[in-house]
Amino acid sequence: MGKPLIAITMGDPTGVGPEIIVRSLARAEVHDMCRPLLLGDAGAVERAIAVTGERLEIGLVENGAIGEEFPRGVVHLLPLSSLSSGEMAYGRPGVAAGKAMYRYIAEAARLCLAGSADAMATGPISKEALNRAGHHYPGHTELLAELTGAKDFVMMLAGERLRVTLVTIHERLSDVPALLTFDKVLSTIRTTHLGLHRYFRKNPRLAVLALNPHCGEGGLFGDEEERIIRPAVDAARGEGIDAVGPLSADTLFHFAAEGRYDAVVCMYHDQGLIPLKLLHFDDGVNVTLGLPIIRTSVDHGTAYDLAGKGLASERSMTAAIRMATEMANTRLTLEKAVSRGDAGDAE
């Protein structure tokens, strides 16, 4: 029972989520490193097994059996919905599917908060269907922050060569300048530092990007760098955080990808995700920092054009499960050190 239990949410049953999860659960390495528990729909899992051709069986799990060791070759499923074939039509998520997506996420968060699961890894959802079902959130990040009571949370996208975090997430580009504040930038730097220090690397090196081309060119292209970003970086450095900036995005990512920085703090969504997906299109992982639980996710959407064809790659899903496992093991090591009274050595 030493392996961490990872609660995996199916995501949108009408997209590629069930297929990539089934493919990941067919890999021996996943079962070697953790106890995977899928939260989803039995019909969607059966269909995904047929589409992918994986040799897997379904084992239905009740709440009382969640902590059991799971043998290979069996998808251990906590069934939380029973959708009809019409409600699971590929690429056509309706209200029922939207409600199911929410149920999977909420239950996984509950299991993590209760200590029944050590971490959660989420499949891709349809934000439109989630909202049509009455759950009005821009995405997983904001939903999980509310479910867990987190106030200072940060979306991080990560791969072997690059990690990026975002000051603003799912916002209109035209709204971004007004949304940037000293407090928001400083909070993002702090949360990034704390999350990386806790789970990935001691005293991480952070690069903080400018908003405008050439860092505003002395105010010619904008003054957010001098009014907001530089003071926030200076304040973070005053707290002992190894952060530098503002730095120009058109050159910084070259050095970050070479390993000069442990993460890049970006001002808006596409500023960080374009370079991240250029390097890690198939194996990028979405991590929510600042939550009281561990949550990772695939770094792609529902891919309706691939759903039902058995063509979607499971690499990002497998990477998300692996990262959730590594983070859970790191936390467990720290907790054991705290109980022994030598937490300083663990940190």
Please give the full DSSP string across 9-72, using - where no structure is assigned. Answer: E---TTTTHHHHHHHHHTSHHHHHH-EEEEEEEHHHHHHHHHHHT---EEEE--GGGTTS---T
Q: Please tell me the predicted confidence (pLDDT) of residue 170.
A: 84
Q: Which residues pair with 77 in a beta bridge?
A: 38, 60
* Least confident piece of the model among 56-70, 242-256, 258-272, 283-297: 56-70
CB 165 within 8 A of CB 140: no
Burial of residue 58 (number of CB atoms within 10 Å: 0-12, 13-18, 19+): middle
The boundaries of the domain holding residue 104 are: 1-151+291-347
Average pLDDT score over residue span 200-206 = 94
Tokens of 282: 């198939």
Of 243, 147, 140, the C-alpha closest to 191 is 243
Q: Is residue 285 one of the residues assigned to a domain?
A: no
Query: Which of residues 245, 279, 313 is at a domain's end?
Result: 279
281: three-class secondary structure by DSSP: coil
Q: Please tell me the predicted confidence (pLDDT) of residue 222.
A: 86
Q: What is the CATH number of the domain that holds 305?
A: 3.40.718.10
Both 136 and 255 in a single domain?
no
Average pLDDT score over residue span 245-252 = 95
* C-beta atoms surrounding 270 within 10 Å: 11
Mean pLDDT of the chain: 93
Average pLDDT score over residue span 132-159 = 93
* Least confident piece of the model among 191-195, 325-329, 343-347: 343-347
Both 139 and 46 in a single domain?
yes
Query: Which of residues 257, 279, 301 is at a domain's end?
Result: 279
Both 56 and 171 in a single domain?
no
Q: What is the pTM of this model?
A: 0.90
Of 88, 59, 2, 77, the C-alpha closest to 325 is 2
Q: Please tell me the predicted confidence (pLDDT) of residue 337.
A: 74
Both 133 and 3 in a single domain?
yes
Give the tens place of pLDDT for each residue, 106-122. 999 999 999 999 999 99
Task: Express as a percent the part of the chain with pLDDT over 90.
Answer: 84
Both 189 and 166 in a single domain?
yes
CB 44 within 8 A of CB 10: yes
Order of strands, sheet of 163-166, starting from the edge strand that comes earlier in the sequence: 57-60, 74-81, 35-41, 5-9, 119-122, 295-298, 285-289, 154-158, 163-166, 263-266, 206-209, 243-247
Interior angle at CA 59, CA 54 and CA 61, nearest 5? 140
Confidence of residue 334 (pLDDT cuts 50, 70, 90): confident
